[in-house]
Amino acid sequence: MICLEGSLAAWTTANFCDVLKEELKQLSIDQLPLQKTISQGSYVLDEPISVLNVNAEEEGETIRVRAGIFFQTVIAGCNCADDPTPVEKINEYCEILLYIDKKTASTSIGLIS
């Protein structure tokens, strides 16, 4: 389970978006559902992400956050000497929904299609 304690602590402050962005950047690629959103590459690179377009609101006992994520992928080939697949990084984008519990900071992440 992901815990965004800093974001919860910053919820009512002007720094909320900045704190949330930094906490999301600290998550491992495996903790985000990026692989499910690939449209051009075939494998998500373990590279830093960029977070933007944060929109947050309270919904009862949770904070609902919509955020855009820029990340990089590659088209994974066999790495053979004669493999014609280019190994160039591809920029991709997806939007996620975060539900932060206001009591525990436990956070679930979903995709926006």
pLDDT at position 82:
64
All residues at 6 or more sequence positions from 106 whose CB lies less than 8 Å from its CB, including other chains: 1, 2, 3, 100
Rounded to a whole number of angstroms, the CA Rg of the chain reads: 16
pLDDT at position 99:
98
Cβ count near 45 (within 10 Å): 16
pLDDT at position 27:
96
Mean pLDDT by groups of 10 residues along the chain of 113 residues: 96 96 95 94 94 95 97 80 72 97 97 86
Q: Global pTM?
A: 0.88
pLDDT at position 1:
83
pLDDT at position 79:
63
